[in-house]
Amino acid sequence: EIVMTQSPATLSVSPGERATLSCRASQSVSSNLAWYQQKPGQAPRLLIYGASTRATGIPARFSGSGSGTEFTLTISSLQSEDFAVYYCQQYNNWPLFGPGTKVDIK
């Protein structure tokens, strides 16, 4: 059974700074990895799929990389609207989400 982990649990960043979020799978999921952003009281929003492809309408400051077991979501210059919880999800077999990383204001 695959286990997804994310680090750090909380990331404190100042607006305009770069944020780097990590997601790890306990076994290879190839590039079958998506990232979501969730704000309080809202449904998750798809940011990245295929490990590195931005979803429709997602700003270029969001980028994804990695394959196999190690993945990274980078937000190049944090805007006020980017403070949220970010989840990774593997879809190599049945869908499984990571526990999330909360990005808050430093």
Partner 1 sequence: QLQLQESGSGLVKPSQTLSLTCAVSGGSISSGGYSWSWIRQPPGKGLEWIGYIYHSGSTYYNPSLKSRLTISVDRSKNQFSLKLSSVTAADTAVYYCARAPFEYYFDYWGQGTLVTVSS
Binding footprint of partner 1 on the chain (CB under 8 A): 32, 34, 36, 42-46, 49, 55, 87, 89, 91, 94-100
Minimum CB distance to partner 1, residue 48 (Å): 9
Q: How far is the CB of 13 from partner 1 (least distance, A)?
A: 21
Q: Which residue has the tokens 């006020």?
A: 80
| 38 or 76: CB nearest partner 1 | 38
